[in-house]
Structures are given as C-alpha cells and as structure tokens.
Amino acid sequence: MTDTGERTYDVVVLGAGSTGENVADVVVKGGLSAVLVESELVGGECSYWACMPSKALLRGTEVLAEARAVDGARQAVTGEQDVAATLARRDSFTSHWDDSGQAEWVEGAGIDLVRGTGRLAGERTVVVTAADGSEVRLTARHAVAVCTGSVGTLPPLDGLADVAPWLAREATSAKEAPGRLLVLGGGYVGCEMATAWQALGSQVTVLQRGKRLLPRAEPQAAEAVTEALEAAGVDVRVGVEATAARRDGGEVVLTTSDGEVRGDELLIAVGRSARTADIGLDTVGLEPGEYLPVDDTLQVEGRPWLYGVGDVNGRQLLTHMGKYQARQAGAAIVARARGEEVDGAPWSPTAATADGSASPSVVFTTPQVASVGLTAAAAEEAELPHRVVEYPIGSVAGASLFADGYSGTAIAVVDTQREVLLGVTFVGPAVAELLHAATIAVAGEVPIARLWHAVPAYPTISEIWLRLLETWRDDD
Ligand SMILES: Cc1cc2nc3c(=O)[nH]c(=O)nc-3n(C[C@H](O)[C@H](O)[C@H](O)COP(=O)(O)OP(=O)(O)OC[C@H]3O[C@@H](n4cnc5c(N)ncnc54)[C@H](O)[C@@H]3O)c2cc1C
C-alpha cells in the first residue's frame, strides 16, 4: 500500500537500528505513540553488517583455537575450519539480510513503521520519501529522535573511488574469501576482519598509520593481538602511510610510504562519520554531516524537541551504549511529556552518564581484548591520581585449566585517592565474559576494600580478581 499524507505521533524516531528500536520501545511502554522510519533494514548496522555477522565469522576460529589449546581435545580436531559452513552460519545470523522478523517485532511492540528515507523539514517534522516517490509528513507532538547511525569514513586517497574499496559492510557480508586482502586501518574493525579473513583463507596485510594496532587499547593488549595476527600469517605493517590507490588489471595497488602493496581487495577501516549528511539538519539550524551535539539526556543543544541517540551523536560507537542511551533518552522523553523534571545527574534514570567513563567494549580477535573505563594513558591524560596493577592471567589456576599454556594479561587502573577502579583491561582467550564484573566495579565505583568480599569461585579465570587485589595490596 502506498503510504501518503500526514500523521501525528507523540514521538518520531528516524532510523530503526538497534538504538532507534529501543527509543521507540521505551516511549511506547511509557504510554506514548511512536513511529519508526527506516530506509534500509529494520535492525540497522549491528544486525546485518556489523556486530552479528562479524562475530559469527570469528566464532569458529576462536572455538578451534580453544579446542587446540587443550590436550586431549586437540587430538580430536583433525580437520580445518569449514569456510562454506562458517559463511552459511554468518548468513543465518543476518537472516539472509531479510528484516521481516524484526519488522514483526516492531508491529508486536505497538510501534508503527514507515519505510523510506526520512528528512527533517523544520521543527518536529520528518518527511519520508518511499522508494516509489510517495511522501508522508510525520509530525511529533513531543520529540523527534534522530538515530541514523554512522558510516565508514573514506580517507582522501588519490584514486580511491576507482578502486571500489570494501567498507565494513562488504567485509562482513562477502560471499568468499579474497585471495589477498589489504586492510587499511588497525583499529578494532581492521583487527577483527584481519583475524576472520586470514583464518578463512585470505592472505591479509594490515597497514596502520600509527605506531601500533588498537591505538586506544592498553599497549600490552595491542602487542598480544599483533603477535597473534603475525603468528596466524597476517602481514602487519605499522607506521605506514597510504597515499594513493589504483586498480591494475584485477589487482588493487596501494602506494604507501613503505612502497607499493598489492592485493585483490582493499578494506578501508579508518573510522566512522556521522550519518547526518542528508537528513535535513540544515532545516533546523544544524550542520549536515556532523555528529549531533547532545547533553546527557541526549537532547540536542537549544532544541528541546530534538534528540540524537546512538552512533549519530559520536559519544560511543557501540551497540550496547546506543541501547543504553536509548533507554535513558526514552525515559527522558516520557518524563518530559508528563511534565516531570528531568536532570542529567549521574545515576539519573533519564540521563546517559556511563557512556564516557564506564563504557565496556570487546575486540573479538584471538586473543580477545575486553576493557572498560580508562586506560592508564587516559587516566594520565585526565591527570587522575592512579596506579596500574598488572597480573598474568595464565598464572591463575582456572586459566591454566581452561587452556594449556594460557597466555593473557589483566591490567587494572586504580584511583589512588578514592581507591576505586578507573578502568580494567583483560587480554587473553575467552576474557569477554570476565568483563561485566569489571564494568560493575567501575560503573558502581565499588571501593577496593569491598571488592575483597566479592569472592571469585575456584577454579575459574575470575580468580584473576583476587590476584589483582593482592598485587594492589602488596605493591603498596
Ligand atoms: C564491522 C563492525 C563491527 C562492529 N561490532 C560491534 C560489536 O561487536 N559490538 C558493538 O557493541 N558494536 C559493534 N559495532 C558498532 C555498532 O554496529 C554500532 O554502534 C551500532 O550499529 C549503532 O547503532 P545505531 O542504531 O545507532 O545505528 P545504525 O545501526 O547504523 O542504525 C541506523 C539506522 O538508521 C537508518 N537510516 C539512516 N538514515 C536514514 C534516513 N534518512 N531515513 C531513514 N532511515 C535512515 C539506517 O538505515 C539504519 O538502519 C560494530 C561496527 C562495525 C562497523
């Protein structure tokens, strides 16, 4: 049915990624009416081109490494990873890029869905243009929440457009492994995709402009990931600047400060930009292409009816933090619609205050890097009084049982004045599931004296907590 005309809702949500879905859900549960506007697939980047397919590509490699690290199990692993089955499993996690399941959820949640490209057209108004050119004008009584996400950034490299490079979307949805894959950028997307495609049969080269991979992680973590990539056969080149790209027959040729590098495909993984270039920001006095400037209630400065939630505000480009912001923004919208006071204080139910200093993230390389809060370098930069406590995870009984020769490190950054954790990083096999305990300690600002009473079960890898506390005490 062609969707035309004008409609009014309490809340109009532009973009039905994981963030937009959650804003709409919270406001509807709070008694407001809401419509979601989506130009591509309901569920957004995470479901179809980011978290889910990338982790599905990586999981088999990780399981094999874990099995091969346990004598007795190792002998049972006699074959290699099945590439076709891995890609098929990835395809099932993306529902073969079909969003009907998520559209059904939207309907069941009592949220209206309008498919098409939405643009702001002045205050409280979004005009949606459908694929057939028809238009619908949506007016919001209380709020417009912009949740349009981010896009991969293309660096200004001579000739790049003619090369038809991969961005994360192509890297997570490719139907076969390229013979040689060049990866420009050594952040988490570059490192995860290098891990995945090297294991699935490509010869991968990673080119990183900076001094090391994972520049925002603790250096020990970056070192462990670099060593593992190299051991897997990846050619890691750091301190290399790319200046131009071209196709030579079927080959991609990158001109770099390290000479020419050739491959079959080029993945650009140098960062993300706000997806706001063409959403009508100019009609409300904002700069197209920029991240939306928001306060802790996710309200756009000077525009009380406008919210920017998730990747689009640039605060933390992570699904779980977008969903957290969505819960807080949704609650703020509902409270304001009821005429209630809303504040942006820490711990407020209507403000996102943990997405700065207590944000957790995992890099799903082999080994994994799981971190929350501040690194030692970030604490230094913030001029916070701190001490770094480090312990080899492999020395914990649970870890040595988990894998023969378990290799990993835990790094805790402790505030020496308040005696609370500012940040924690774990690097090693299967450390992702250790992270939430650290997140609770950091977000909850649990005093070190109290952490002694949170006793980890024996013999689990979680006993690393005990060793970190002992090291903190003994180094005093
Ligand atoms: C390769 C990769 C791996 C990642 N892995 C992880 C991970 O493991 N864990 C994690 O937490 N994060 C991960 N991320 C980050 C995560 O994908 C994003 O933080 C998350 O998807 C952001 O959600 P969002 O809803 O804010 O934006 P998006 O998911 O981008 O959703 C925005 C939606 O808005 C729609 N839209 C945009 N413009 C318009 C318009 N004008 N009209 C209508 N609709 C519009 C889009 O089609 C899209 O559906 C990864 C990212 C990448 C690139």
Place of tokens 């590439």: 83
The predicted pLDDT at position 1 comes to 43
Candidates 29, 166, 170, 184; CA nearest to 111 is 29
Class of domain 367-474: alpha beta
Q: Is 363 in the pocket of ligand 1 (CB under 6 A)?
A: no
**DSSP type of residue 282:** G
Q: Is 16 in the pocket of ligand 1 (CB under 6 A)?
A: yes
Mutate to test the pocket of ligand 1, among 292, 319, 436 (most ligand atoms within 8 A of CB): 319
* pLDDT < 70 stretches in the chain: 1-4
**What span, in angstroms and rounded, lies between the C-alpha atoms of 236 and 216?**
17
Contacts of 324 (CB under 8 A, 6+ apart): 352, 354, 355
The predicted pLDDT at position 347 comes to 86
Spell 343-371 as b/e; 16+ CB within 10 A means b. Answer: ebeeebebbbbbbebbbbbbbbbbbbbbb
Q: Is 117 in the pocket of ligand 1 (CB under 6 A)?
A: yes
The predicted pLDDT at position 476 comes to 73
- Summarised one tens digit per residue, pLDDT across range 227-247 is 999 999 999 999 999 999 999
Q: How far is the CA of 118 from the centre of ligand 1 (A)?
A: 16
pTM: 0.97
Q: Where are the domains of the chain?
A: 3-48+94-151+273-337, 160-270, 367-474
Q: Is 185 in the pocket of ligand 1 (CB under 6 A)?
A: no
Q: How far is the CA of 300 from the centre of ligand 1 (A)?
A: 20
Let me know how many helices (H) and strands (E) the chain has, helices first.
15, 21
Helix (H) or strand (E) holding 14: strand 5-14
Class of domain 160-270: alpha beta
CATH 3.40.50.300 fits 3-48+94-151+273-337, yes or no: no
Mutate to test the pocket of ligand 1, among 51, 113, 362 (most ligand atoms within 8 A of CB): 51
Q: Is 12 in the pocket of ligand 1 (CB under 6 A)?
A: no
- Summarised one tens digit per residue, pLDDT across range 365-391 is 999 999 999 999 999 999 999 999 999
Would the CATH topology of 3-48+94-151+273-337 be identical to that of 367-474?
no
Place of tokens 């417009």: 144
Q: Is 313 in the pocket of ligand 1 (CB under 6 A)?
A: no
Report percent pLDDT > 90 for the chain: 97
CA 349 vs CA 181, 354, 438, 440: distances in Å? 45, 11, 22, 17
Place of tokens 């049969």: 201
